[in-house]
A and B are shown apart, each in its own frame.
Chain A
Amino acid sequence: SQTIHQWPATLVQPVGSPLSLECTVEGTSNPNLYWYRQAAGRGLQLLFYSVGIGQISSEVPQNLSASRPQDRQFILSSKKLLLSDSGFYLCAWSGLNSGANVLTFGAGSRLTVL
């Protein structure tokens, strides 16, 4: 069966420090991968998605970047964090080439920038 892992689960970082959140998927190949941010426990904002190694699409210009160095690995990064980067970050995966595919989410990473 497929599983998705996200870490760290909780992170407290000072303003201006770097960030790296990692997401890996097991039990599938060639997944679509996604990073979402959820602010204030509410709506989801799609940040990045990837349909393959090295292929990253950005939905919103921001202080963050994403990379996909391996088929089942998706990394969210920042060189210098801002206070506004605080939030709950969710990684998700889906199968390719079908709008009917369900998104499967990781457990999330809560980032607090002080």
Chain B
Amino acid sequence: AQSVAQPEDQVNVAEGNPLTVKCTYSVSGNPYLFWYVQYPNRGLQFLLKYITGDNLVKGSYGFEAEFNKSQTSFHLKKPSALVSDSALYFCAVRGSGSARQLTFGSGTQLTVLP
């Protein structure tokens, strides 16, 4: 079975400070990993994905994520947070050899304080 854990329901960070939203996963085979963002009363928007290659993936709006195979983690990061980054963030995984659908984490609410 595949699973995703986002251990923090809520992350608060001051504007201009770096932010990290944590994600760990469990999957058979090599993972496909994704981050999505959701603003209030809206659908999810794709931020970035890891398929293969460089462990550091760069995505939309200055976000990046680091794939760590030994720690089975895919933490989302941004060097300098903006108030407009405040939203709900979802990590998702699917095994490369799996016919299963994408599995989402429970979400982390990021609040950037001015």
B98 A105 Cβ-Cβ under 8 A: no
Task: Pick from B15-23, B63-71, B75-83, B87-95 the stretch touching chain A.
Answer: B87-95
**A44–B104 CB distance below 8 A:** yes
Q: How many A-B residue pairs have CB under 8 A?
A: 51
Give chain B interface residues in 38-52, CB to chain A under 8 Å. 41-46, 49, 51
> Is there contact, CB below 8 Å, between B51 and A90?
no
Q: Is the CB of A44 within 8 A of B90?
A: yes
The answer to the question of A12 belonging to the interface, with a C-beta cut-off of 8 Å to chain B, is no
9 additional A-B pairs beyond A6-B43, A90-B43, A110-B41, beta carbons within 8 Å, are A43-B104, A46-B101, A92-B44, A99-B98, A102-B49, A103-B44, A103-B46, A104-B46, A105-B45
Flag whether B106 is at the interface (Cβ < 8 A): yes
Contact count band on A: 20 to 34
Cβ contacts A to B, 24 pairs, < 8 Å: A6-B43, A34-B101, A42-B88, A42-B106, A42-B107, A43-B105, A43-B107, A44-B104, A46-B101, A49-B101, A59-B101, A92-B43, A99-B32, A99-B94, A100-B32, A100-B49, A100-B51, A102-B46, A103-B36, A105-B36, A105-B43, A106-B43, A107-B42, A108-B42
Cα–Cα distance between A10 and B26 once the two chains are bound (Å): 36
Output the residue of B41, B95, B96 with the most chain A CB within 10 A: B41
Q: Bound state CA distance, A59 and B51, in angstroms?
A: 25
How many angstroms between the C-alpha atoms of A21 and B77 in the bound complex?
36
B34 CB contacts on chain A under 8 angstroms: 102-103
- Is A27 in contact with chain B by the CB < 8 A criterion? no
